[in-house]
Amino acid sequence: MEHNHLDITKAPIGVFDSGLGGISVLRALVREMPNENYLYFGDSANAPYGTKTLEEVRKLTVSNVEYLLQKGSKAVVVACNTATSAAVRYLREKYPQEIIIGIEPAIKPATTVCEQPTIIAMATPMTLKEQKFQALVSRYKDIANIIPLPCPGLVEFVEDGKVGTEEFLQFMTKLFAPFQNQRIDAVVLGCTHYPFSVGEIKKVLGDHVKLFDGAWGTARETKRRIAAAGLLNDSEEQGIINYENSAMSDARLAICKMLYELPIDEEEQ
């Protein structure tokens, strides 16, 4: 028994987001590595991050990732595009011996859906402003028409657990109204809160639209990194998930579990 406590392969994978959006990444991680244990930390007290300054987001991200490391996480997944663009490079330099994985908008796979696709890249205002995203867009600008779309207000629907409501569908209809008469080939879900709106996106833009969620690539990369370090949990039992939050309440915990249980659009994988 004592040995088990010291066995680092049994330590949790820490998963961090500004709030509850990272649960879309947690789902992908569990699909990829069901036997791992997870510690999910959402900073809902400070969400949304996407409208804060780079310095504010970096400071919050660093202190929350440090918390997950202190709790004994064997790896940390920054399950937030905004926090990744603000702080992941800095964190890797500060903790070169730790496994720290980030997420970024899945622009590259979206550019291959058809010849010269028109792609809507949904992300927070901060992600869209960052140099990392600008560089991604300019790399593919000759083979695709990429339209950046900031979505202020969307994060709050997810945080409040109001996905799947009529009010949410109305919000999404308004968001995509400017594209009503345009064929959209693909949508990049460049914020981890947005995969919870895939049903609404398809209703509004049409079933032909292909959706791209970076969670799946991030989950595969996390598995590769943990395996390379010899830290995969070889237990044959399903792992456990613990939720922590900077503004935890019974209601919030219930929303975490509800989001986790929502059906996954298989096509996004």
Window contacting ligand DGL (CB under 6 A); options: 11-19, 130-138, 142-150, 198-206: 11-19
Cβ-proximal residue to ligand DGL, closest one: 50
**Residue among 97 and 131 whose Cβ is closer to ligand DGL:** 131
Residue 192 within binding range of ligand DGL, rule CB under 6 A? yes
**Residue among 146 and 188 whose Cβ is closer to ligand DGL:** 188
Closest by Cα among 162, 90, 163, 152 to 122: 152
The residues in 54-83 that bind ligand DGL, with binding defined as CB under 6 A, are 80-82
* Token output for 114: 């058809």
173: amino acid identity, one letter: T
**Of residues 39, 47, 187, 198, which one binds ligand DGL by CB under 6 A?**
47
Window contacting ligand DGL (CB under 6 A); options: 31-39, 45-53, 138-146, 251-259: 45-53
148 HSE (CA, 13 A, CB side): 18
The structure tokens 């791209």 sit at 212
Q: Which residues pair with 244 in a beta bridge?
A: 41
CA distance 195 to 25: 9
Closest by Cα among 82, 75, 40, 32 to 61: 82
**Residue among 155 and 241 whose Cβ is closer to ligand DGL:** 155
CA distance 34 to 55: 35
Is 162 in a helix, a strand, or coil? coil
Q: Of residues 80, 114, 151, 256, which has the active-site annotation?
A: 80
Residue 233 within binding range of ligand DGL, rule CB under 6 A? no
* Token output for 161: 């657990």
80 has catalytic annotation: yes
Distance of closest approach, residue 234 Cβ to ligand DGL, in angstroms = 31
CA distance 89 to 64: 15
**Of residues 16, 38, 40, 49, which one binds ligand DGL by CB under 6 A?**
49
Q: Which residues pair with 186 in a beta bridge?
A: 119, 210
CA distance 232 to 237: 13
256 has catalytic annotation: no
260: amino acid identity, one letter: Y
Window contacting ligand DGL (CB under 6 A); options: 1-9, 30-38, 44-52, 143-151: 44-52
Distance of closest approach, residue 189 Cβ to ligand DGL, in angstroms = 9
Residue 17 within binding range of ligand DGL, rule CB under 6 A? yes
Burial class of 217 by CB neighbour count within 10 A (0 to 12, 13 to 18, 19+): middle
Closest by Cα among 192, 210, 214, 190 to 201: 210
Distance of closest approach, residue 178 Cβ to ligand DGL, in angstroms = 21
Q: Of residues 114, 151, 191, 256, which has the active-site annotation?
A: 191
The site string for ligand DGL over 107-146 (x = CB under 6 A, - otherwise) reads -----------------x--x-------------------
Active-site residue numbers? 80, 191
Residues in contact with ligand DGL by CB under 6 A are: 17-19, 21, 47-50, 80-82, 124, 127, 155, 191-193
